[in-house]
Amino acid sequence: MKTKLFFTLFLFFAAIACYSQSNEPVKFKIKNTSILPKKVSLISYTPGDNGNGTQAYWILPGGSKEFTFKVGTKLFLANQKEVRTVMSGASIENGKPYLVVKKEDQDKTFTL
């Protein structure tokens, strides 16, 4: 009986540890390498979350913006038409993402 209880508890805590590690937030930057300011509209789809996240920023020339997302999040650099699509309640998740966040992306800088 004690063996079964121990084994069950072990599996439970192992599952929790694996789940929490796979959903660790990852920090990275997006940098504007252009000589002109750029507006960045970022649409995100995070695994396990309903809907999307939509953020828009102006990034100055040579500037960067830091982001934090969970592993597996799909990020789209959206144009105005895609932003309107998402704001109307539709999804662009089936398109090609700019980035799918991986654990290896920690502290990386991606360029526009």
Instruction: Give the domains, in start order, of the chain with CATH numbers.
Output: 25-111 (2.60.40)
How do residues 42-95 score in pLDDT, each as one tens digit?
A: 999 999 888 899 999 999 999 999 999 999 999 999 999 999 999 999 999 888
How do residues 20-40 score in pLDDT, each as one tens digit?
A: 445 789 999 999 999 999 999
Cα 106 to Cα 83: distance, rounded to the nearest angstrom? 27
Secondary structure E strands in the chain: 25-31, 38-45, 53-59, 64-70, 74-77, 99-100, 109-111
